[in-house]
A = this chain, B = another copy of it.
Amino acid sequence: MLKDTSTLAPKALDKSQTKLATAELLVKISKLQNVLYAQGKYSLLIILQGMDASGKDGAIKNVFSGINPLGTKLKAFKTPTEEEAKHDFLWRIHANAPEKGMIQLFNRSHYEDVLVPKVHKWVSEDVIEERYQHINNFEKLLQSNGTQILKFYLHISPEEQQIRLKERTENPEKFWKHSAKDKQEAAFWDEYKDAYENIFKKCNEMAKWIIVPADQNWYKDFVIATAVVECLEKLKLEYPPLQA
């Protein structure tokens, strides 16, 4: 699936025009979010996954900066804390599930628990298989409560990743993003790619993955914004009537 998908925008696409189109989409998202919040019937969970330096932070900044913080929350999942590690892997995820009316952004997610432990063989394949099932059950539970789930995989090439990781060691404004661990993990590129392919196979049932060509930020932002607008428009959101 990944190897047949380009990490680049379609050649015919014009960069400036696409950027303009994205700007229009962002205005739409902002308006739709307002109704989502006012109606309080649905919620939106946006999951961003991808290799290191695939642009998750950038996508959040570019696509969601214009949205009312009252109705938007961001949670970045890092290595589990001691308390989190004493619970099942979905405990900290569920705690951050959106309430009705909200847009919840996940920078990384429960999918990390079927990536890192699989690549490094910390747990058996049986455990990984069980986790796929737990994840599907969990996403079904959220959906039963009116939560829409958008799962984005930011698809970059290994070459683009190397360029970006290198930049983090050369540009003082990006030093803070540099981590020696990223280089170690980049060596497992193929294993991560396989683990993602498995996820796209096993956890595509409740909410479909959207593979986002992510070597060019302007195209990545456009694809994400398009999917968000489409998802919200499908809900036929409405401002609630005046309550007596």
Binding site for B on A (CB under 8 A): 40, 83, 86-91, 94-95, 97, 99-101, 130, 134, 137-138, 140-142, 144-145, 147
Max chain B Cβ within 10 angstroms of own Cβ: one of A94, A138, A140 = A94
Max chain B Cβ within 10 angstroms of own Cβ: one of A130, A137, A147 = A137
Minimum Cβ distance to chain B for residue A183 (Å): 31
New A-B contacts (8) at CB < 8 Å, excluding given A94-B94, A130-B144, A137-B138? A86-B101, A87-B100, A89-B145, A90-B94, A90-B141, A91-B95, A95-B95, A134-B137
Minimum Cβ distance to chain B for residue A77 (Å): 16
Cα–Cα distance between A89 and B97 once the two chains are bound (Å): 12
Cα–Cα distance between A142 and B87 once the two chains are bound (Å): 8
When C-beta atoms are compared, the residue in chain B nearest to A135 turns out to be B141
Cα–Cα distance between A99 and B91 once the two chains are bound (Å): 10
Contact between B88 and A91 (Cβ–Cβ < 8 Å)? no
Minimum Cβ distance to chain B for residue A64 (Å): 21
Contact between A40 and B134 (Cβ–Cβ < 8 Å)? no
Selected from B40, B87, B97, B137, the residue in CB contact (under 8 A) with A145 is B87
Residues of B within 8 Å of A83, CB to CB, are 99
Contact between A144 and B88 (Cβ–Cβ < 8 Å)? yes
When C-beta atoms are compared, the residue in chain B nearest to A82 turns out to be B99
Cα–Cα distance between A138 and B87 once the two chains are bound (Å): 13
Contact between B134 and A88 (Cβ–Cβ < 8 Å)? no
Residues of B within 8 Å of A141, CB to CB, are 88, 90, 134, 137-138
Cα–Cα distance between A80 and B60 once the two chains are bound (Å): 33
Max chain B Cβ within 10 angstroms of own Cβ: one of A83, A95, A145 = A145
7 tightest Cβ-Cβ pairs between the two chains A and B: A86-B99, A137-B137, A88-B145, A86-B100, A94-B94, A134-B141, A88-B141
> Can you list 22 A-B pairs, Cβ within 8 angstroms, ordered by A?
A83-B99, A86-B99, A86-B100, A86-B101, A87-B97, A87-B99, A87-B145, A88-B145, A88-B147, A90-B94, A90-B141, A91-B94, A94-B94, A94-B95, A95-B95, A130-B144, A134-B140, A134-B141, A134-B144, A137-B137, A137-B138, A137-B141
Minimum Cβ distance to chain B for residue A54 (Å): 29
Minimum Cβ distance to chain B for residue A140 (Å): 8
Residues of B within 8 Å of A87, CB to CB, are 97, 99-100, 145
Residues of B within 8 Å of A137, CB to CB, are 134, 137-138, 140-141
